[in-house]
Homo-oligomer: A and B are copies of this chain.
Amino acid sequence: MKLTSKGRYAVMALVDLARFNNINPVSLRDISLRQGISLDYLEQIFSKLKKNEIVKSIRGTQGGYVLNKNPNDIKLTNIFHAVDEKVKTVQCKKESKKGCNGKATKCITHNLWDELEIHINTFFENKSLKDLLNNNKETRV
């Protein structure tokens, strides 16, 4: 049960972006240098963030990315969803009428995994980018 680096990087990059957001667009190159994330990889990530309308892009010299929403309205759920970081605890389809394991009934621990999924997702739904900004001010370098 582990977080992928895509999800982790997306959040790191957005927190970085949010910090400098007020003045000018922030280039991926700057984020790459500050956060130690490969530029090429960041581009993949921001392409998805853009498609999901979490950021806007400004092309050309002095261009970069800008948040497309208020930090308070960007939840971890939104970010993770954008970069395909999903919480998957069960193998079986949720909607399917069929049970798990190809059997007719739900698997013996089905309810447990559902509970776990909800437990984790709740955490993601309740954390916004703004929370992270505030939380980080204390330990700011």
Which residues on A are within 8 Å of B, measured CB to CB? 1-5, 7-8, 11-12, 15-16, 35-36, 85-91, 101-103, 105-109, 111-113, 115-116, 119-120, 123, 127, 132, 135-136, 139, 141
Contact = CB atoms under 8 A, between A and B. Distances in A.
Number of copies: 2
A113 to B, nearest CB: 7
B113 A8 contact: yes
Given A106-B139, A112-B132, A86 B11 contact: no
Given A12-B107, A105-B141, 9 more contacts: A1-B88, A2-B89, A12-B109, A15-B109, A36-B102, A36-B103, A109-B136, A111-B136, A112-B132
Contacts of A90: 3, 8
Contacts of A87: 1-2
B88 A112 contact: no
A45 B49 CA distance: 40
